[in-house]
């Protein structure tokens, strides 16, 4: 209760990107039917920072003007009206779970632990409230002080995740929260606002939210909270200038969470790690999310392995997100698993067309690590092994072997059902060269010279491999493909590239139903 502003003060002593505009959104909900807010987003997307910021702003036990007067929130309506004007109940649910484990207390007792902790701190501040029930004591506190409560709950879903498979514990916890936030004899008298944040949306009770009065803003639909979901592009450009980092490289690694009408959102944790270490690479390996990825993508649902392989090749795939139960154990289909991966930040969602794809190089790196794991799925191992050989044969100029590898991929489960145009051939090529994504950046339909190159593989920094320019022909010769590359000067796009370029012409003959390949180096 009333934790003060020291947590946010420490945040400000390090490099801080101003996200205080979020406070203005919560201020607008106070005194309205929208006073209960649940924001869910992936790990390492600034949830705890936001919680500490809200505590510092609303807590009546401290004076936080010195922390906020130079921030964005200071210029908004209602800034001083709500500043340090409420009692704050700040809960980090993971702390209670850790304490229960340390004391060998069952998870079913965690709600009681939370209630006891709140009651203890409340009655320490107001001893005259002792002897009352928790809810009566909180009502009495409001009557005595004239100040309502703002609830700030971090990792609200930790108990739902930890009690995976134990419906009784989950239900007990949800009923506990309902007692605070869906109680006509308590909520209107005590609660000025509530801000809950976690990885998952509120668990469903049937087809509805189990605490239906909350307005939810998920990674699927962040609504008005979209700019506070992570770092914006302007945030990242500013950081790159300050730290003298290459913005294009940072964007390639950490961009990709795109929202209609708003644009790019970046992972704050990874961006700040890259700035501090002056190096773009995957920082997810330090999180527990990365450790669980193998479990989810190896689930034995029809179409699951094919979907992940399509994602790795750069495809967007359609997903039905409606059936997901907002937990870690109720999976009925591959769509439920993939929806969870969206909530975990491994995929980005496009609501307008119902598709998802891997957002950036950092996340793709984590997927590729899974494919290399010793216990990876056998089909993936075969796919990657075949693709590695194909890449080696391409660079070595082994044309017959390349044509044979394309044939093999065409005959696999990764090929489209209808193999009847150049687009279908390109689909097969992307799977065939899936191993190239380890050391290459793949660009499709790249404008160059006098035309558009079908697929270009650009070597990543420090890669010693040559660039690849691949031209595809349906029912035409591979010689014609190479001729088109030269005549339309596709290599012009690589004018700043200092190294060899491998020109690859691949064709499919409808009559013979065979692929052919021609390779040249320049």
Tens of pLDDT, residue by residue over 217-226, are 999 999 999 9
| Single pTM value for the model | 0.82
Q: Which residues lie below 8 Å from residue 327, measured CB to CB, with a gap of 6+?
A: 160, 161, 164, 170, 200, 203
Q: What is the pLDDT of residue 439?
A: 81
Token reading at 265: 């959102």
Q: What is the largest CA-CA distance in the chain?
A: 92
Q: How confident is the model at residue 289 (pLDDT cuts 50, 70, 90)?
A: low
Question: How far is the C-alpha of 384 from the C-alpha of 392, rounded, in Å?
Answer: 12
Residue 331, pLDDT above cutoff 60: yes
Per-residue model confidence as pLDDT tens digits over 382-439: 777 888 899 999 999 999 999 998 888 888 776 676 777 778 788 888 888 887 877 8
Asked if residue 89 has pLDDT above 80, the reply is yes
Mean pLDDT of all residues belonging to the chain? 88
Predicted local confidence at residue 374, as pLDDT: 46
Separation of alpha carbons 190 and 378, rounded Å = 57
pLDDT at 291: 54
Q: What share of the chain is helix, strand, coil (3-state, %, to 5)?
A: 50, 20, 35
Question: CATH for 6-225, among 2.120.10, 3.30.70, 3.40.50, 2.40.50?
Answer: 3.40.50
Q: In terms of C-beta density within 10 A (0-12 exposed, 13-18 middle, 19 or more buried), how is residue 105 classed?
A: middle
CATH number belonging to the domain at 285-372, selected among 1.25.40, 2.60.40, 1.10.20, 1.10.10: 1.10.10
The residue ranking higher by pLDDT, 451 or 341, is: 341
Question: What pLDDT does residue 192 have?
Answer: 97
pLDDT at 379 over 90: no
pLDDT digits (tens, 9 = 90+) for 177-206: 999 999 999 999 999 999 999 998 888 765
Contact 169, 107 (CB under 8 A): yes
Domain boundaries, the chain: 6-225, 230-281, 285-372, 379-521
Residue for token pair 């289909």: 333
Spatial neighbors of 248 by CB under 8 A, at least 6 apart, are none
**In this structure, what token pair is assigned to residue 125?**
């501040």
CATH number of 379-521: 3.40.1350
């Amino acid at each position: 209760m009333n934790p003060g502003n020291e947590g946010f003060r420490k945040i400000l002593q390090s490099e801080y990107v101003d996200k205080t505009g979020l406070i203005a959104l919560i201020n607008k909900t106070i005194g309205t039917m929208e006073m209960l807010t649940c924001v869910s987003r992936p790990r390492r997307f600034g949830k705890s920072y936001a919680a500490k910021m809200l505590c510092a702003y609303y807590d009546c036990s401290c004076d936080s003007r010195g922390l906020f007067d130079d921030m964005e929130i200071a210029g908004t309506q209602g800034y001083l009206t709500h500043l340090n004007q409420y009692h704050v109940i700040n809960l980090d649910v993971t702390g209670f779970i850790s304490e229960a484990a340390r004391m060998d207390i069952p998870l079913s007792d965690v709600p009681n632990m939370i209630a006891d902790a709140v009651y203890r701190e409340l009655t320490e501040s107001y001893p005259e409230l002792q002897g009352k029930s928790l809810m009566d004591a909180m009502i009495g506190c409001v009557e005595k002080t004239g100040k309502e409560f703002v609830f700030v709950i971090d990792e609200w879903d930790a108990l739902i995740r930890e009690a995976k498979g134990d419906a009784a514990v989950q239900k007990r916890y949800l009923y506990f929260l309902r007692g605070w936030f869906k109680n006509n004899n308590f909520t209107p008298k005590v609660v000025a606002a509530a801000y809950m944040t976690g990885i998952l949306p509120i668990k469903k009770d049937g087809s509805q939210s189990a605490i239906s009065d909350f307005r939810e803003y998920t990674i699927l639909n962040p609504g008005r909270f979209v700019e506070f979901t992570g770092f914006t592009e302007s945030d990242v450009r500013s950081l790159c200038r300050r730290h003298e980092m290459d913005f294009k490289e940072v964007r390639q690694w950490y961009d990709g969470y795109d929202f209609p009408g708003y644009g790019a959102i970046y992972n704050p944790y990874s961006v700040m790690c890259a700035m501090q270490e002056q190096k773009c690479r995957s920082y997810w390996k330090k999180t527990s999310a990365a450790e669980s990825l193998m479990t989810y993508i190896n689930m034995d649902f029809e179409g699951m392995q094919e979907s992940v392989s399509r994602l790795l090749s750069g495809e967007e795939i359609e997903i039905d997100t409606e059936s997901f139960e907002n937990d870690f154990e109720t999976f009925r289909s591959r769509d439920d698993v993939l929806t969870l991966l969206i909530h975990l930040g491994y995929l980005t969602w496009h609501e307008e067309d119902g598709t998802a794809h891997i957002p950036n190089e950092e996340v793709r790196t984590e997927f590729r690590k899974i494919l290399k794991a010793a216990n990876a799925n056998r089909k993936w191992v075969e796919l990657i092994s075949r693709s590695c050989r194909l890449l080696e044969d391409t660079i070595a100029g082994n044309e017959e072997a390349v044509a044979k590898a394309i044939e093999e991929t065409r005959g696999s489960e990764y090929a489209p059902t209808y193999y009847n145009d150049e687009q279908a051939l390109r689909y097969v090529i992307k799977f065939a060269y899936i191993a190239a994504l380890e050391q290459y950046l793949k660009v499709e339909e790249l404008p160059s010279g006098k035309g558009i190159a079908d697929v270009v593989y650009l070597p990543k920094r420090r890669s010693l491999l040559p660039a690849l320019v691949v031209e595809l022909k349906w029912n035409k010769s591979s010689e014609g493909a190479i001729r088109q590359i030269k005549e339309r000067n596709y290599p012009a796009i690589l004018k700043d590239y200092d190294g060899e370029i491998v020109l690859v012409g691949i064709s499919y003959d409808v009559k013979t139903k065979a692929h052919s390949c021609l390779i040249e180096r320049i």
